[in-house]
Amino acid sequence: MTTAALPETSRAIVVRRFGDDVTPEAVPVPTDLEPGALLVRTTAASICGTDLHLWAGELSLPVDLPVILGHEMVGEVVAIGEGAEKDSVDQPLVLGDRVIWTHTACGSCRFCLQGQPTLCRNRQGYMYQTCAEPPYLLGGFSEYVYVLPRSGRVRVPDAVPDDLASLASCALRSVMKAFRELGQLLPSQHLLIQGSGPLGLLAIAVAKTAGVRSVSVIGGPSERLEMCRRFGADVVLDVTATSPEERASAIRTATDGIGPDVVMEFSGNPHAFAEGLALIAPGGRYMVVGQLGQGAVEITPATITAKNLAVLGSFSGGTRDYWDALRFLEVHGPNLPIGDLITGEYTLDTVQDAITAMRAEKEIKPVIRMQPRG
Ligand SMILES: [Zn+2]
Ligand SMILES: [Zn+2]
């Protein structure tokens, strides 16, 4: 094991009971690393909507309390377990390199073998595992995080700043995977994005970079729609200020009277699914990414048959998507207003304020910076 000098404990935001206000606590730093593991010093951790849902106890996924909140982060390598001297895309790793890393995949279950690591039956997720037992540090709102041996990890290119690398580790890798699963996009094709949160905004940037004919967005509120335009959206519709009929008419006008060839759903609103099915062009592809809640809607399945649609889902992201997210930021980041997504800066001592502001929709993507140790 190669290591820098390490403290005995890490300040971390621990959720012991859902909905309770959080303040930093001291959590042990593991003294030994398993072969293949890394220990990183967190340099930035951005807040994802899922963090809020977990904190509030609103998630349908199992959570082994107490857990360290946060799963969107970037850190600098401070200890390297045996055999972990390279990242998952064969780049050398040394102390001081920055990395982002995936939830674990076992590599040997049916889904891993079929090339679907995000569906791994033996998946361990950061922020879902207890911090009461070694290796303790499995969440992002912590000075230090333990990277499990079975987590894919990718070195962050020097040109990608901490805030954006952090955002690559959940929001952007999810978008990159959705585009990968969607398949080819052509310059003749119209695309509709439902939702103008961080994923929707990033998807606009990725779609415009891919060179489609037009990108329309249905979202809100109005300040957010202004940002959609800055990200390159051609047509922007406020979901609260328009009727479904008005939106359908505007989308038809923007798409040669036929409808979008591709619809991507990032809104999380179950009603968006029914609207997407109604708007999409015959022969179209519908990629559903935002639906993680429990809501239900009525649809007419005949629409899928009669329009000859491909309806697809995409969950989370694997190592290749993290790599693609970082490369996207390295190549296109300087020409895009992605930094505008980072709306507020907090510290471990003010995480609760960030949660409150985000729940009140006063933030898009707040970031937590770790204070240097005095
Ligand atoms: Zn997330
Ligand atoms: Zn597996």
**How much is the pTM?**
0.96
pLDDT digits (tens, 9 = 90+) for 250-296: 999 999 999 999 999 999 999 999 999 999 999 999 999 999 877 89
- pLDDT tens digit sequence for 3-18: 878 999 999 999 999 9
Q: What is the mean pLDDT of the chain?
A: 96
Cβ 46 vs Cβ 342: under 8 Å = yes
Instruction: Calculate the dihedral angle through the C-alpha atoms of 290, 294, 299, 304, rounding to the nearest 10 degrees.
Output: 50
Per-residue model confidence as pLDDT tens digits over 226-248: 999 999 999 999 999 999 999 99
* DSSP strand pairing (342-346 vs 144-147): unpaired
Cβ(63)–Cβ(16) under 8 Å? no
pLDDT at 308 over 90: yes
332 CA distance to ligand 2 middle (Å):
33
Ligand with smallest separation from the Cα of 70: 1
Does 2 or 225 have the greater pLDDT score?
Answer: 225
Report residue 52: phi and psi, to 5°: -65, -40
Q: Residue 321 Cα, ligand 1 centroid: separation in angstroms?
A: 14
Distance 53 CA to ligand 2 centre (A): 25
Q: Report domain 2-156+337-368's class.
A: alpha beta
Q: What is the pLDDT of residues 139-165, one digit of tens each?
A: 999 999 999 999 999 999 999 999 999
* Alpha carbon of 254 to ligand 1 centroid (Å): 32
CA of 171 to the centre of ligand 2 (A): 22
Quote the ligand 1 centre to 219 CA distance (angstroms).
20
Backbone torsions φ then ψ of 105, nearest 5 degrees: -140, 135
Distance from the alpha carbon of residue 61 to the mean position of ligand 2, in angstroms: 17
The predicted pLDDT at position 83 comes to 97
Checking if the pLDDT of 374 tops 60, the result is: no
Domain boundaries of the chain, sorted by first residue: 2-156+337-368, 174-313
For residues 264 and 149, is the Cβ–Cβ distance under 8 A? no
Instruction: Please give the pLDDT value at position 2.
Output: 77
Per-residue pLDDT, 18:
96
Report yes or no: 208 and 232 within 8 Å, Cβ to Cβ.
yes
35 C-alpha to ligand 1 centroid (Å): 27
Compute, in angstroms, the gap from residue 73 CA to the centroid of ligand 1.
Answer: 10
The predicted structure's pLDDT at residue 243? 97
Kindly give the distance from the C-alpha atom of residue 254 to the centroid of ligand 2, in angstroms, as a whole number: 43
User: At 107, is the pLDDT very low, low, confident or very high (cuts 50, 70, 90)?
Assistant: very high
What CATH number does domain 174-313 carry, 3.40.50.720, 1.10.645.10, 1.10.240.10, 1.10.1040.10?
3.40.50.720
Point out the ligand nearest to the CA of residue 107.
Answer: 2
Tell me, in angstroms, the distance from the centre of ligand 2 to residue 149's CA: 14
Residues facing residue 238 across a β-bridge: 219
CA–CA gap between residue 118 and residue 129 (Å, rounded): 17
